[in-house]
Amino acid sequence: MPASFAEFLIRRLFGFIAVLLVLSLMIFVLARVVPGDPARMALGPAASQAQVEAMRDQMGLNDPLPIQYLNFLSGAVQGDFGRSLISGRPVTQEVLALLPATLELVLATLFLMLLFGVPLGVLAARNQNRWPDTVLRLVSLIGVTMPAFLAAILLQLFAAYYLTDWPILGRMERGIGAPTGPTGLLTIDGLLAGRPDVTLTALQYMLFPAIALALSGIAQIMRITRSAMIEHQRRDHVQTLRSFGVPERVVTFRYLLKLSSVAPLTIMGLEFASLIGNAFVVEMVFAWGGFASHGLESILQKDLNAVMAVVMLSGVFFVVANLVIDIIIGFIDPRLRLREGR
């Protein structure tokens, strides 16, 4: 790997660590700003003042703030976010148990976004201003004008009314005996355990939630791909190839596509945060049981520790996703890899 690319990645990595640090600081501050006494909330109104005081000591709430932050941070790095104020169980455990569900949903969504977003964008660009383009743009508008929760509700309604026996809640059929390991992703686990029926059922349950989540993303990717391709179509290098008789479709699908794929990938990275946010709501509507809907409930119930864990986890998701995307872009676009001293 050329040194300039390594430097680029290292810089990004440091940036992301900084992001996570500042994020943790922000959540911490927010948590301490919340009115109400976390100790009181944990013990309930019936506890005596002395008990609350003892709890406060135990929770470290009487230490000076910087110390509290450092404790929080060291705990966070080790994966310990304390106990849920609602359920009493360790937050990390609860969240991690629910992680695979959300992960699977998000991966499915990303897959849909790329599967539909990019080809449709290319199609629209090739037929710029002709009828396929107009149709596609109208279709993409659906994605952009419908909030995820609404899409979720409507799809659920559609499934309930027009599709017999189609699941509308949850992630897996009860009693089917789905394997619980090793990845936690039901589709993959099903295949690994030799149970294709599990995989198919998982996909069936996942279809509508993923569509609801993906709509907005598909529309955006389609738009970005389209405008990137149109932009690059104007450039001289396309003329060069055309002047030598290289067929249009080769120009489009090989040359332009590679060049135009950078923009949608970047957008996907940035949109990741919104994606997770929307996952919160979609999971809720479909009772998906992932950490996102759990996070939502925690927020609504003011379960501080859980909220902090969920937000940090979202941050980690974002950071990892963007790093992966940066690496992919680095492979696609040599200009990033090879900037010899800029």
Site for another protein in 100-119 (CB under 8 A): none
Among the listed ranges 77-85, 96-104, 162-170, 236-244, the one in contact with another protein (CB under 8 A) is 236-244
Check residue 334 for interaction with another protein (CB under 8 A): yes
Taking CB under 8 A as the criterion, the residue among 88, 131, 181, 236 binding another protein is 236
Whole-number CA gyration radius for the chain:
24
Least gap, CB of 81 to another protein (angstroms): 15
Cβ distance 106 to 288 under 8 Å?
no
Check residue 40 for interaction with another protein (CB under 8 A): no
CA dihedral (131, 134, 136, 139) positive or negative: negative
State which of positions 178-217 bind another protein (CB under 8 A): none
* Residue 37: DSSP 8-state: -
Least gap, CB of 210 to another protein (angstroms): 18
Question: Nearest-CA neighbor of 280 among 295, 268, 270, 300?
Answer: 295
DSSP string, 53-68: HHHHHHHTTTS-HHHH
Q: Tokens 């939630």 — which residue?
A: 209
Among the listed ranges 5-13, 63-71, 187-195, 203-211, the one in contact with another protein (CB under 8 A) is 5-13
Among the listed ranges 62-70, 114-122, 177-185, 298-306, the one in contact with another protein (CB under 8 A) is 298-306
Q: For residues 297 and 303, give the distance between their C-alpha atoms in angstroms, rounded to a whole number.
A: 8
Check residue 333 for interaction with another protein (CB under 8 A): yes
Taking CB under 8 A as the criterion, the residue among 45, 78, 131, 342 binding another protein is 342
Question: Nearest-CA neighbor of 299 among 286, 312, 316, 311?
Answer: 311
Cβ distance 19 to 329 under 8 Å?
no
Check residue 130 for interaction with another protein (CB under 8 A): no
Which of 174/249 has CB closer to another protein? Answer: 249
Cβ distance 272 to 322 under 8 Å?
yes
Check residue 314 for interaction with another protein (CB under 8 A): yes
Query: Tokens standing for 228?
Result: 């990137």
Among the listed ranges 69-77, 87-95, 190-198, 273-281, the one in contact with another protein (CB under 8 A) is 273-281
Cβ distance 220 to 144 under 8 Å?
yes
Among the listed ranges 47-55, 80-88, 98-106, 150-158, the one in contact with another protein (CB under 8 A) is 150-158
Taking CB under 8 A as the criterion, the residue among 141, 169, 176, 324 binding another protein is 141
Which of 172/221 has CB closer to another protein? Answer: 221
Phi-psi region of 341 (alpha: psi -120 to 50; beta: other; left: phi over 0): left
Least gap, CB of 67 to another protein (angstroms): 23
